[in-house]
Amino acid sequence: MNDFWIKISLSLQTFKTHRLRSFLTALGIIIGVSTVIAILSLIEGLNRSVAEQIQSIGSDLVFLTKHPMVMAGPQNIEEIASRPDLTPDDAVAISELPSVEVAIPEISQQITKIKYKDKEIASVRLIGSNDDFSQVNNRFVESGRDFSRDDINHRRNLSIVGSYVAKNLFPEESPVGKELNVRGHRLKIIGVFKEKGAFLGQSMDNMIVIPYTFFEKIFPRRGESIFERAFFGYSVDIKPKQGQVEKVIDGVRELMRRRHGLSFDKKDDFELGTQQMLMEIYQNITRVGFIAIVAIAAISLVVGGIGIMNIMLVSVAERTREIGIRKAVGASNQNILTQFLVESVFLALIGGIIGILFGLILAWLISVVSPLKASVSFWMILLGFGFSAAVGIFFGIYPARRAAGLNPIEALRYE
Amino acid sequence: MKKSEVVCRGLDICKTYWRGKVAVEALRGVSIQIKTNDYVSIMGASGSGKSTLIHILSCLDTPTSGEYYLEDKLVSSYTDLELAKVRNTFFGFVFQSFSLLPRLTALDNVALPLIYASTRKQERIRKAISILEKTGLGDRMNHRPNEMSGGECQRVAIARALINDPKVIFADEPTGNLDSKTGAEIMDIFDQLVDEGNTVVMVTHDASVASHARRIIKLKDGVIENE
């Protein structure tokens, strides 16, 4: 232990006599570690907010769709287009499963340019559903009223608008009771949804919900193009009873296979997804990119390591005589190796510590001035330590071995 | 006086250097014995191989051929670690150019070998202080080499060589960088060390320095000319 501190203090002495040089050497590590820490904490922050947002869509929903939620990998569009459409009747049947609390049909279409007097929204999502929409999607009708079963059954031209629509088209008055014009159809606004915020940077409040029965009137099924047949149509959003997600998935699969008359050897002709799967899809899509970003940042660590190696080689050359003297009075190769290794690891660790601090400040600054959120975990700090120690050892071992291997007589003669 | 026994024994030691592509035969078959409480001077002109011989005897260098025994153990069978231990505890070495670490104080320089002998800190300081006081440097302990005279530096170097109670003290031209008065003072220290029972082997080209010794070995062109 004693020797250890002697070695540390000897190393520190070197840094004192070469202050600028030591700082410049450590700078490579400082930049490397701070970039990695900042990027990691921003990625972590992003992941967390996505997870929160996915949770906020509604709790533990199961989605029944005709097409996969995300087209990842090669998919046969023709096969998807040839599948039977999902229907509002499917939603009714699913609602009757014992594990299901409620299930709703949902159909939507992005529509451009919606106007009220001189105000205009460039694009809005028009959703057709039923009176259980707000319950399934954790939405609350803030002003006005929700749909009734009658509104749905009687194909009433009514709508509930998201807060984004309300704010942009009716900045100074209540939208309730006003009329919108969508493709020549008049839509009476009966309510406004409470604001929900953004999901993956997209506002979830830029939407208008109408009875699906009226939606069918505005957008009669055309089914001409293969793309439309594959991707346009009903999906069913299912809210399971408490803790019954797995049962719902099995129950719905069995029910839908029966309704579609699939024999046991046929594959499903529909897709079932959960929020958990959404999270997994998000992670799958982003993982490679995140690894690449961190890897690129780590390159600067390698550059910093090369800087350390360079300085250590200079230091070994400068102190050849010192090494000779130490060996002459009894230092073993191991002693010399340790001395120089301690030096490079110390240099890297000091750089690492400053880098961690800088990285945390950087992440904090970014989250203050930009919408990105930073989230710092303990493992990142450990990683920063570990990485800089590893760099110190990896790039310090060669100069240290070189020092240790010097012949004492030749080292003593060195001028 | 201790009973005289052989401490080191060299048999037909040869050493060949390579200066680029030219082979330099520094030693061409030297046999030598050092006994306890010997006081040996190795003399010779520049290039006679005297420095090479003392480096091999003190295990700072290894012979190209020939056998070298420390207390009947063959040195070529030693591992690097064992050689380091020999240099640390078995021998002390005093260099012409003092070879002190410039950044360390006299005390730390003297205590340096103790670090490699894994001595505890209090013990290191205690030993270093007592040896420095013995060599007359009690008031110079916290000075660095550049704050001391040549004679003082060489005393520090001698103190460092003595700190682990070595069996043999080697000195390579210990007065070479000193004026004659200071040189004489340093030689007095060596004389005293031998009187106290230590074994000293030194290299010099100065006959007056060599005359302090009891044995004078003359080297010429890598062989012993006479003793």
Per-residue pLDDT tens digits for A100-110: 999 999 998 88
Same domain? A288 vs A376: yes
Same domain? A259 vs A112: yes
Average pLDDT over residues A198-211: 81
A409 contacts on B by Cβ (under 8 Å): 55, 60-61
Chain A: residue whose CA lies nearest to B104: A10
Question: Could you list the residue range(s) of the whole structural domain that residue A381 is in?
Answer: 2-53+281-413
Interface of A with B (CB under 8 A): 2-3, 6, 13, 17, 321-322, 324-335, 407-409, 412
A322 contacts on B by Cβ (under 8 Å): 101
pLDDT tens-place string over residues A225-236: 877 888 888 999
Distance (Å, whole) CA A384 – CA A360: 11
Beta bridge partners of B28: B14
Can you give the pLDDT at residue A264? 84
pLDDT tens-place string over residues B164-176: 999 999 999 999 8
Interface A-B: count of C-beta contacts within 8 A: 65
Task: Say which of B80, B87, B101 has its CB closest to residue A322.
Answer: B101
Distance (Å, whole) CA A210 – CA A305: 62
With H, G, I as helix, E, B as strand and everything else as coil, classify residue A95. helix
Same domain? A112 vs A143: yes
Same domain? A131 vs A163: yes
A61 within domain boundaries? no
Which residue in the block uniquely carries the two structure tokens 């005289």? B4
A390 within domain boundaries? yes
pLDDT tens-place string over residues B79-128: 989 999 999 999 999 998 889 988 889 999 999 999 888 888 899 999 99
pLDDT tens-place string over residues B134-157: 888 888 899 999 999 999 999 999
Task: Say which of A327, A328, A332 has its CB closest to residue B81.
Answer: A332
pTM: 0.70
* Portion of chain A with pLDDT greater than 70, in percent: 93
Same domain? A198 vs A257: yes
Can you give the pLDDT at residue A11? 63
* Portion of chain A with pLDDT greater than 90, in percent: 24
A161 within domain boundaries? yes
Q: How many CA atoms lie within 13 A of B202 on its CB side?
A: 29
Q: How many CB atoms lie within 10 A of CB B150?
A: 17
A313 within domain boundaries? yes
Can you give the pLDDT at residue A10? 63
Can you give the pLDDT at residue A6? 64
Say if the Cβ atoms of A325 and B118 lie within 8 Å: no
State the complex-level ipTM.
0.92
A297 within domain boundaries? yes
Task: Please state, rounded to an integer, the average pLDDT across all residues of chain A.
Answer: 85
Question: Residue B137 is which amino acid?
Answer: L
Distance (Å, whole) CA A322 – CA A343: 15
Can you give the pLDDT at residue A1? 43
Same domain? A34 vs A74: no
Given a cut of 80, whether residue A17 has pLDDT beyond it is: no
pLDDT tens-place string over residues A22-42: 888 888 899 989 988 988 888
Same domain? A132 vs A35: no
Say if the Cβ atoms of B80 and A3 lie within 8 Å: no
Judged by a CB distance cut-off of 8 A, whether residue B64 touches chain A is no
Can you give the pLDDT at residue B149? 92
Given a cut of 90, whether residue B218 has pLDDT beyond it is: yes
Binning pLDDT at 50, 70 and 90, where does residue B66 land? very high
Domain boundaries, chain B: 36-62+80-226
What one-character-per-residue DSSP string does A147-215 give? --HHHHHTT--EEEE-HHHHHHH-SSS--TT-EEEETTEEEEEEEEEPP--EETTEES--EEEEEHHHH
Q: How many domains does chain A have?
A: 2
Chain A: residue whose CA lies nearest to B158: A329
User: Could you give the residue ranges of the DSSP H alpha helices within A87-162?
Assistant: 88-95, 133-136, 149-153
Say if the Cβ atoms of B84 and A3 lie within 8 Å: no
Distance (Å, whole) CA A44 – CA B170: 65
Contact (Cβ atoms closer than 8 angstroms) between residue B222 and residue B48:
yes
* Portion of chain B with pLDDT greater than 90, in percent: 65
Same domain? A38 vs A131: no
pLDDT tens-place string over residues A263-308: 888 888 888 888 777 778 788 888 888 888 888 888 888 888 898 8
Q: Could you write out the three-class secondary structure of chain B?
A: CCCCCEEEEEEEEEEEEEECCEEEEEEEEEEEEEECCCEEEEECCCCCCHHHHHHHHCCCCCCCEEEEEECCEEHHHCCHHHHHHHHHHHEEEECCCCCCCCCCCHHHHHHHHHHHCCCCHHHHHHHHHHHHHHCCCCCCCCCCHHHCCHHHHHHHHHHHHHCCCCCEEEEECCCCCCCHHHHHHHHHHHHHHHHCCCCEEEEECCHHHHCCCCEEEEEECCEEEEC
- Mutation pick from A6, A315, A320, A329 vs chain B, by most beta carbons of B within 10 Å, is A329
Same domain? A144 vs A260: yes
Judged by a CB distance cut-off of 8 A, whether residue B167 touches chain A is no
- Return the CATH number of B36-62+80-226, one of 1.20.1440.230, 3.40.50.1860, 3.40.30.10, 3.40.50.300: 3.40.50.300
Distance (Å, whole) CA B77 – CA A197: 79
B100 contacts on A by Cβ (under 8 Å): 325
